[in-house]
Structure 1
């Protein structure tokens, strides 16, 4: 029995970034493999697992690898990919146990042995980073173990550039943190040897994306800022670049090297990587309030040097994104628990008679005084904070709600327009657009909100616009309400988030997400999607209510 059809479906689903489609395709593949009377084909396993990792479907990767092992596929690459998924899912201890077993049974110096050693280093490195300077438990020992893992792999094969560069980075981190590493290797000699290796590969034309990233990191270790920018330019234009790689490089520069986006040209490379991640097809970027502010202060020079002709344009695009993040608010209960998101709008942008007063727009199922909306927070109990405006040494100011100026129930427009007791000062409202983007494969929208009601993090998520009921061909199911559907269901707490066009104008109010959302405009089937209300539908309803 052949599973080639199911394999193809997984590969297509992985590239679509629709999680429910990926999970369903993987389930079908697993059932097909179970029905076979032979071990899963190793090349099929390699192809599918690589695709899931590349497109960052870590949950599906972990589940498929687990089932491959259960079905008798004991291949080293399956255990290695399984371990990768565990690390990316925040389970480094489980990954370490699996990787240590893999290292013991694989021939030292073999490809999978090198990969396993590198992932051991990655797992231990993450444990040290997550410890945030704590002296308890595995913290400092994890740093030493990470260095040992990378060193062992690099010593066995000095052509392993990425292993050597990770070794250099962690030795620098240990020195900066005052952590003593026994038998400390000389970083200068390591750096010089790696530099020669990279130059040889460059001359031969055999460098790939990860090599360019390693070269940029090595230039940083040498204090060669021009080299960092030159290599990152090659990296971000490499044929095999993807969101998984960009996220890893960004993590290395920020978590290991400690770069900050507002630290001149050196730190501005962080802002460039954040921009590249956000613009990639599966880019998800989470930032603390301080990171929002620092990214907004990044030096434009690095954008020009790394991104060339589109550098200045990208710089202002990122600056605008950070400015919009300042306008997004966390809505909390009296006990401080976050329950949803809202965003700042100017009254006349929704209805001219409302003038220049600033309001907060959110979902009715988040804040409402209607007795029919029992799960919503009452307006007199709501506390509103604009987290991205807070200084590093103090919390954001809490704002109270004076009244709900206008409301539409969840079954209609699911909207509440809140008037402040004292409107916020120094925060620009989000601009509103009456137009909708054309739906095509490359059309993106962006959501900025507070996933899980988190108080200290903003998530800027790239979503492909799947469909909408607007002009010219849309068919609204409810008169006066135009829905938008976009990719990747968001976490609870994102309700009330603004949905932005690629130009960072508000086109919708996010209110729901589901793994099996019915498609719009009479199309058959379901998909994993977010759902938002077109901002123009809200404007027209406000105008009708206020003039009727």
Structure 2
């Protein structure tokens, strides 16, 4: 493991341990029965997301169940969905049903909001004096509007649903999370150089790397639903750029060079970006990929302070960390962005977004002086997308990105 990876892991493990002792982190959902009010909500969001019996039938077939078992003679569609949810609740497979429904319709904002209540969709979190805490559904709209007054919370959730399926866990060996990655082309994933340094330098063979999408797990360690995994292609390494020695300095003595950007661009075996998110559903959208922002316009970080990070914490559901007053500065050579938005172990390689969901940075490290609650982190740090694009263009590798 690289020195930067080790520092990131130790720093985030200390922070996570402190937050857990305070009880600040959202708990992974235990399996159990739904409350009556939640059963009513689940019936409604399922009916709205799957508006006809054939579409509900496709959903049930994908989890090896038959909707006809819940659709009696003389029942109308709402009655059938009611019986479906009641039966799933009684037999304790409602979480499997809800997880499958969200995977099939990730951009349905009301379904996503309900699924997030049970950690089955990305959990909005924020940093408080007590650590990282879940943002209650009733407070999320105010947070979103504070970040971007023109953005409605339903539109915000819809965009998050699109992004969710494009973010993966990077594992090496399979089952051991090293960091986060995300699709930037049909068959191209980007992560930090330090996440896969051991593979690049030959310590681990590329065959040991696994990219895991749609990862959902309960607090007892049981996986829920079907995740999708991809290996690396034979010609897997498209381009890479190491981190800088200055990234390891508590008090930096200089700026990283413009070719020290801590990224690795990797080609996958197969094209996950073009494949359906939910293969059992003929109406499923393709997974897609995160696009490079158009043009080369400079972003006004003096005015634009909000930052969202979609991260895959170790062994936990996906989170989106929000901070409406996050960005604190940009390096003079436009390679690094510093911000307050907190991250957890496993977040190296996560995408950072501005308030309009424009991809602006690749998260890669935190404050080297961080030492737990007694020595709070002064900042987190990401690599600006514009710097990565410039270097790829100089090297003739920009064509690898799907939006180009």
Q: What TM-score bracket applies, with the shorter chain setting the length?
A: 0.5 to 0.7
2:311 to 449, 452, 476: 449
Quote how far apart the aligned CAs of 1:499 are. Answer: 1.0
Structure-1 residue corresponding to 2:270: 422
Q: Aligned residue for 1:485?
A: 338
Counterpart position of 1:103 = none
Alignment of 1:10-409 (within 5 A): 59=18, 85=22, 88=24, 130=30, 132-133=31-32, 173=35, 220=37, 270=114, 278=124, 282=128, 313-346=152-185, 358-368=187-197, 378-387=205-214, 393-402=225-234, 403-409=236-242
Q: State the 1:485 CA deviation.
A: 0.9
Contact persistence 1:435–1:507 (CA under 8 A):
no
Following superposition, the deviation at residue 512 of structure 1 comes to: 0.6
Quote the offset at 1:312 in angstroms: 8.4
Task: Kindly indicate whether the alpha-carbon contact (under 8 Å) linking 1:446 and 1:461 is maintained by their aligned counterparts in 2.
Answer: yes
Q: CA deviation at 1:528?
A: 2.4
Structure with more strand by fraction = 2
SS of the equivalent of 1:528 reads coil
Question: What secondary structure does 2:344 align onto?
Answer: coil
Gaps of at least 5 residues in structure 2 are 1-10, 43-93, 103-107, 218-222, 245-259, 276-285, 371-375, 398-404
Against the structure 1 CA distance between its residues 321 and 335, is the aligned structure 2 distance closer, same or farther, given a 3 Å change threshold?
A: closer
Higher gyration radius (CA): 1
Between the aligned partners of 2:155 and 2:355, the Cα distance in structure 1 is 13
Aligned length: 271
The verdict on how the C-alpha distance between 1:460 and 1:265 changes in structure 2, with shifts beyond 3 A counting, is: closer
**Matched-pair contact (CA < 8 Å) for 1:325–1:388:** no
Give a deviation string over 1:318-368, Cα, whole Å, max 9, x none: 11112111101111113421111111013xxxxxxxxxx531111111124
For each residue in 1:412-451, what CA deviation from the matched residue of structure 2 results, as whole angstroms up to 9, or x when unmatched?
1111111122221231110222556433587211111222
Report if aligned partners of 2:348, 2:364 keep a CA contact under 8 Å in 1.
Answer: yes
Name the counterpart of 2:395: 545
1: CA distance, partners of 2:25 / 2:216 = 30
Which residue of structure 1 aligns with residue 378 of structure 2?
528
Q: What is the deviation of 1:546? A: 2.1
* Counterpart-to-counterpart distance in 2, 1:344 and 1:224: 33
By how many angstroms is 1:513 displaced? 1.4
Q: Find the aligned partners of 2:344 and 2:127 in 1 and give their Cα distance.
A: 19
Return the alpha-carbon distance in structure 1 between the equivalents of residues 392 and 342 of structure 2.
28
How far residue 266 of structure 1 moved from its aligned partner, in angstroms, is 8.7
**Greater helix share, structure number:** 1
- Measure the CA separation in 2 of the matches of 1:325 and 1:485: 24
**Within 2, Cα distance between the matches of 1:545 and 1:265?**
40
User: Structure 2 CA distance, aligned partners of 1:414 and 1:506?
Assistant: 17
Measure the CA separation in 2 of the matches of 1:444 and 1:312. 13
> 2:288 & 2:356 partners in 1: Cα distance?
16
- Please give the TM-score of this superposition, normalised by the length of structure 1: 0.40
Give the match for residue 332 of structure 2.
Answer: 475
- Determine the structure 2 residue equivalent to 1:512: 365
Gaps spanning 5+ residues in structure 1: where? Answer: 1-19, 24-56, 63-84, 91-125, 134-169, 177-219, 226-257, 287-294, 296-302, 347-356, 518-525
1:503 is paired with a residue whose SS is: coil
Give yes or no for the alignment of 1:432 onto 2:289: no
For 1:413 and 1:224, how far apart are their aligned partners in 2? Answer: 46
TM-score, normalised relative to structure 2: 0.53
Conserved? CA contact 2:19–2:25, under 8 Å: no
Question: How many angstroms apart in 1 are the aligned matches of 2:127 and 2:115?
Answer: 18
